[in-house]
Amino acid sequence: MAVGFRLALAFGLLALGSPAWAAKKVDLDYHVRLLPQSDQAEVRLTLAQGAAVRSLDFDLGDGSHYSDFKADGQWQLTPGKQARGVWRPAADKASLTYRVRISHGRKSGSFDTRMTPTWALMRGDDLVPAAKLDQQEGIELVSRLEFELPAGWKSVETAWPRIGKNKFRVDNVSRLFDRPTGWMLAGHLGSRRTRLGETEVTVASPQGQGMRRMDVLTLLTFVWPQVQAVYPRHPVKLLIVGANDPMWRGSLGARESIYLNTRLPLVSESGSSALVRELAQVFGRINDQQRSDWISEGLAEYYAIELVRRAGGMSDERYEGLQAKLAKDSQKVTTLRAEQVSPAQVSKAVVLLQELDREIRLKTRNKRSLDDVLRGAMRLQSVDTKEFVQLAESIIGESSQVLDSSLLN
């Protein structure tokens, strides 16, 4: 009887795994037509079967970047400081079309994203805003992204796997609504590519922008073994884009992609690296909450220093000098708790994390380190200060003297 029961169970499991029970796949195609003459992109979302989706509820921010909505089915726009747009697609093949402004300026006169007559540096998060998806049961949306480039523009780069000349597969297993997020670059480009471990790395910039593409690849190659040793997950693709002023003179990581102003040094005078810091952000994907921004920002800056040091790119003397500078810069900081931490708070967070690493190594006889805390935080969907302390203490095996600090109150 037992054998018969096991066989019946096995056949039952096979039946459950058969195509009859598999999710029904419905195509969702994104078509982006770049329009440099008007500093816009025309975006079209097309569902092969509109009935598969009850609604898409878009977060349009203040609404100022989006216009000219046209929809098959119902479209309801709610304007205001927190503008929203709800699309209820028609039953058959259905499309939603709109325009989005590409260039986003700052008060300083610089740009976060920019379109010129020969290139565009943008974020997919802006092209397709975040949305709440309400879909039918048993449906799986299969998403693709295709660009229509202006005459004379040569190429486009994204962090998504390429499936055609200007076409990409968009698949984010952690989200129900697959949208093409991350940095993107199109136009007259210069690119360099290499494979590091499991990751295809592309460094791209508009021609004539002074991007030191081979320098970037060399630094990445140098630190990559240390990156692989610390982070358990590695992206299939990594895109690094850069441009000169008047683009914002900073660096910023997004999904499997990094923006780096071409005037920034790859390694600063203090020994820290903006490129490696953003790399730590992209690989770590630490999502902090409840005024705990110090966790993700502190870990990123800590590993920006630590990965270079472990790779042999920083002498003990330089490391000690950098520690002294961090301590000096953060001596007036009394709390790390904030929705968005200041540079001085980041420095204080790094000092705290360095002390925590020493405490963990001492109390576990060098069997564990801050690397274990990082990996634990990566496994959580989000982490706050209390959870971070609990995680560290579970690795130590007792309470932490370093984390019993008024800085975390």
Task: Give me the domain span that covers residue 295.
Answer: 286-408
Q: Tell me if 14 is assigned to some domain.
A: no
* pLDDT of the chain, 409 residues: tens digit per residue: 444 444 444 444 444 444 445 679 999 999 999 999 999 999 999 999 999 999 999 999 999 999 999 999 999 999 989 999 999 999 999 999 999 999 999 988 999 999 999 999 999 999 999 999 999 999 999 999 999 999 999 999 999 999 999 999 999 877 888 999 999 999 999 999 999 999 999 999 999 999 999 999 999 999 999 999 999 988 999 999 999 999 999 999 999 999 999 999 999 887 789 999 999 999 999 999 999 999 999 999 999 999 999 999 999 999 999 999 999 999 999 999 999 999 999 999 999 999 999 999 999 999 999 999 999 999 998 999 999 999 999 999 999 999 999 999 8
Q: Tell me if 344 is assigned to some domain.
A: yes
Q: Tell me if 336 is assigned to some domain.
A: yes
Burial of 81 (0-12, 13-18, 19+ CB in 10 A): exposed
Q: What residues contact residue 402 under an 8 Å CB cut-off, 6+ apart? A: 352, 355, 356, 359
Check which CATH number belongs to the domain holding 305 and give it: 1.10.390
Token reading at 246: 């008047």
Separation of alpha carbons 280 and 299, rounded Å = 8
Q: Tell me if 21 is assigned to some domain.
A: no
Separation of alpha carbons 320 and 399, rounded Å = 28
Peptide bond into 343 cis (omega under 30): no
DSSP for 371-394, written as a single string: HHHHHHHHTSS-B-HHHHHHHHHH
Phi–psi pair at 401, nearest 5 degrees: -70, -35
At 334, the amino acid letter reads T
Q: Tell me if 347 is assigned to some domain.
A: yes
CB-CB contact of 50 with 90 (8 Å): yes
Q: Tell me if 290 is assigned to some domain.
A: yes
Give how many domains the chain has, as a whole number. 1
Q: Tell me if 39 is assigned to some domain.
A: no
